[in-house]
Amino acid sequence: MKRLLYLAFVLASYLMYAQGDVSEIEYYFDTDPGIGNGISIDIDPDVEILNQNFDIPTTGLPIGNHKLFVRAVKDDGSASYYYSQSFSIRAANATFNSADIDGFEYYFNTDPGIGNGTQLTVTDSELISESFSIPTGSLSTGSHRLFIRTKNSDGSHSEYDNVAFSISNGPAVFNSNDIVAAEYYFDTDPGTGNATNISIPSGETLNENLAILTNTMPQGNYRAFLRVKNTNDDWSMYDRVTFSVVPLAGVNMADINTIEYFFNTDPGIGLGNNITITDAETVNQNVAIPTASLSTGTHRLYIRVGNTNGTYSLFTHNVISVKTPAFFNTVSIVAAEYFIDIDPGIGNANTIVTSGDDIDEDFVVTTSGSLAMGDHYVYVRVQNSDGTWSLLEKQHFEIEGTLSMASEIISEISIYPNPTQNILNFKLPNNTIIESVELIDMNGKRIFHSTEALTTMDLSNVSNGVYLLQLKTNIGKLSKRIVKQ
């Protein structure tokens, strides 16, 4: 029997817009069905800023790790960036706790391996509810993380639970004195007393909203840390929150008055092939684009629109193929193959057993444990009996992190700004070093590789489009979609 899990969360002011009210939110699990195709929750009445709780049922999801995605939709139909949260569906307790708990083990910071932590003895029982004294005398001054897991009498261990704590130079100080100061910082601790000061009223407790400015920060992912000080000059442990700096959703207040297209290489905004249209708030029409001048082979078509303010949209694009009429599939399919991320070459990928005039079937793609955490693409192509291979068909998927310190550290790597026009920055957690960097295009071609410990990457010579950026570090690997525009 599965546990029915409801996810309760708060959508706060980071899902807001410069203009227009939020009329609904939509959510989905794991795979994006496209804007407008998620599960809708109506917001009535519409609000400028959304700050309320929602219960999201997870009935029907299989046991395992999942990711919830949520985005807000304005009354004009435009949608925000998504907010995401990882979670797990597990079997009900009665399903796996068929043996009594007979032990605990704990460790600090780094997992020594199941069964190799410091053991805590308990009396065998179906449920354990007791306190433990865990010595910290051997730990250095600073921040640490305690991990603990249980073992039952059949030798199975639970997943770990963990908590962050701090070792200070003096004895533990409880707040018997009023709070008199507060400070915050982003990502890297400058040291107590050296962060950005926040004016607060003195008091025994602090319970108020604090405005922290992010308008000067580049686009990307960050962590904000906050701590307070009392009249004894003792500082608390920090509290933290992860957030993203993203551009505000643009709203088309001016009419669209032009469409331009180009093939393969961007000639520059306004320099593509122009299509004359009547000025309109929205454009919904078929356009005939000649391809007679293109050589036989694979090409990419790009289209963007401009408005009466002279502002152009991001481009949309499609892969096309120019072939002679004899190319089209008048013979049966005799082979199929797939690969993940990087094309090994036609005929060298993983074989899919199939045959017939067309393919309409499910097949299993094995994902190796060596794949980096993050974004990936699986590509499929087929061959017919005259030896001709089709274009690639691709599907995006994600590899979730494991429940480990390494995965948590990898998830803290920040890659910004994304989208970018030229320079991409890498912000790494402490003691994390890049060992190699690869950039892969949407045809599975590796276009950049470096084994240097880079902290920035220049994309000025890279064509606009979507790419996979894969980082290998001394802690683990990360794969992320980036957009060059």
Alpha carbon distance 13, 211 (integer Å) = 12
At 136-160, the pLDDT tens digits run 888 887 777 888 888 888 777 777 7
Q: Mean pLDDT in the chain? A: 79
State the burial class of residue 433 (Cβ atoms within 10 Å of its Cβ: 0-12, 13-18, 19+). exposed
Q: For residue 104, name the pLDDT band (cuts at 50, 70, 90).
A: confident
What average pLDDT does this structure show over 271-275? 90
Query: What does the pLDDT read at residue 328?
Result: 55
Reported as a pLDDT band with limits 50, 70 and 90, residue 2 is very low
Find the range with the poorest average confidence among 65-79, 270-284, 334-348: 65-79
With a cut of 70, say whether residue 9 has pLDDT above it. Answer: no
- Please check whether the domain covering 256-322 is classified as CATH 2.60.120: no
Is the pLDDT reported for residue 199 higher than 80? yes
Taking domain 179-245, whether its CATH number is 2.40.50 is answered by no
Q: Write out the two tokens for 342.
A: 């990087």
Query: How many percent of the chain have pLDDT more than 70?
Result: 85
CATH of span 6-92: 2.60.40
Q: What is the pLDDT of residues 226-271, one digit of tens each?
A: 888 888 888 887 777 777 776 665 555 778 888 999 998 888 888 9
pLDDT of residue 59: 83
Confidence check: pLDDT of 34 > 80 = no
Residue 17 pLDDT > 80: no
Q: What are phi and psi of 432, to 5 degrees?
A: -100, 130
DSSP of 219-283: SEEEEEEEEEEETTSPBPPPEEEEEEE-PPPP---S-EEEEEEEESS---TT-SEEEEEEEESS-
Indicate the class that CATH gives domain 97-167: mainly beta
- CATH number, domain 405-484, options 1.10.760.10, 2.60.40.3080, 2.120.10.30, 3.30.365.10: 2.60.40.3080
Across residues 212-225, what is the average pLDDT? 80
| Sequence ranges of the chain with CATH classification 2.60.40.3080 | 405-484
